[in-house]
Amino acid sequence: MLNVLKVRIYPNQQQEIALNRNLGCARFVWNYYLNKTNNQYQETGKGMTYCQMARDLTQLKKLSDYEWLQESTAATLQQTLKNLESAFKNFFSKRAKFPKFKSKYKKQSIRYPESCSLHNNGLKLPKLGIVKAKLSKEILGKIKSVTVSKTSTGKYFASILFESDDLIINKTFKISGIDLGLSSLVTVFDGETTYTVDPIQPTRKYAKRLKRRQQKLSRRTKGSNNRRKAIKEVAKVHEKITNTRQDFLHKLSRKLVDENQVIVAENLCVKGLARTKLAKSIHDAGFGMLLNFLSYKLEREGGNFVQVDRFYPSTKTCSCCGFKNNLIDLSVRDWVCPNCQTHHDRDLNAAKNIRAEGLRILSTNTVGHTEFQACGETVRLVSACAKKRQCGLGVSPSRATAVQVSVNQESPATLP
């Protein structure tokens, strides 16, 4: 299986200059052929394929005005053309938006598809030599490719794609249902115990600092060096917010994956929730990011990530008798079932129902059904992004059989 490790690299002054040139060449090739493809499509009704763009790029390098393109590695420029062709295919397949022109003031990236290796505490890249890197773990498999990215704050990172034969199997078998919310980020129920985790709200935490930096930016003259410095200061605050959120969600997802073999969650429409008056809190919570982290971490460890339908009435259904109370709205945090007189906490009741629905899905699914695979498609769907996270028995037949036996032993009807 393929695995990815993202590390921070520290190029010296000469390597940084060469790397910035490579990024500039790749950005120019992307913008040049994006514009050329658009013009050709308007004139003839057909765009340019990768082979056509690659042949044209070879002739473009021979021109005196574009000889500086030869300073970059040929494989990286060809990979840029492949990415551009994939972007057009994803657009026409309605899986992504129309490709945009790249800017040097935002995040940039370049991919080295070959000739990359590790040497001691460094990463060897074509035409750059050994770049100092901070590796968090040892890479034993073969390196397939390396993607080097530069953030808006001037930091460099390398995403190393390598082969890994080790599949870590989680020995503890527990099935938990989680309910996502804003007052409590997750409410976890494993059949016996329950607990909640509160959100950290990093956007509100650094709101005052971001306000001061943006006020300082607004007073700077456009095009001046002081304005560029102020832009970098604002970018650092946004980077701090992003890193705080990702660190928290990584730790939370790791805790959930270590404790459970099967996790059941709702298939939320985050894009639709972001259109409501709670949009800021929805984005700050990072629901989609948390579900993605749970999905790939469970897949690596041979677990299962199941998502129930977003229209399943988990909060309105009594987890004891199954009575559906349609009078509940978002303002009701606890309610009493009119049928069995059981007092329910809204989030805990939803977690119990989600877990029961996940057990039902697992018990009716059979090994080999592709509609429950966890790996998804190569790109995220814009209109229905959560479809890529539809999963279930996306593991080996032996492991899937063990899941089926354990699920059959615990019937949804026996749940509290």
Instruction: For the chain, give the number of residues.
Output: 416
Residue 285 burial class via C-beta count within 10 angstroms: exposed 0-12, middle 13-18, buried 19 and up: buried
The one catalytic residue in 85, 179, 190, 284 is 179
67 is catalytic: no
The one catalytic residue in 266, 284, 299, 357 is 266
**How far apart are the C-alpha atoms of 69 and 63, rounded to whole Å?**
10
Q: Which residue has the tokens 């003031």?
A: 105
Phi-psi region of 343 (alpha: psi -120 to 50; beta: other; left: phi over 0): beta
Tokens read off for 216: 């300082």
Q: Which residue has the tokens 């003839």?
A: 44
**How far apart are the C-alpha atoms of 292 and 243, rounded to whole Å?**
16
The beta-carbon contacts of 71-75 under 8 Å, at least 24 apart in sequence, are: 71/18, 71/21, 71/22, 71/25, 72/21, 72/22, 72/25, 72/26, 72/127, 73/22, 73/112, 73/126, 73/127, 75/112, 75/113, 75/114, 75/115, 75/126
Task: List Cβ neighbours of 388 (8 Å cut-off, separation of 6 or more).
Answer: 376, 377, 380, 381
179 is catalytic: yes
Query: In sequence order, which ranges of 274-345 are alpha helices (DSSP H)?
Result: 279-285, 287-300
CA torsion sign, 306 to 307 to 313 to 316? positive
DSSP annotation string for 102-170: --TTS-EEEEE-SS-EEETTEEEETTTEEEEEE-SS---S-EEEEEEEE-TTS-EEEEEEEE----PPP
259 is catalytic: no
Query: In sequence order, which ranges of 13-124 are alpha helices (DSSP H)?
Result: 13-44, 50-61, 74-92
The one catalytic residue in 85, 190, 284, 347 is 347
Would you name the residues annotated as active-site residues? 179, 266, 347
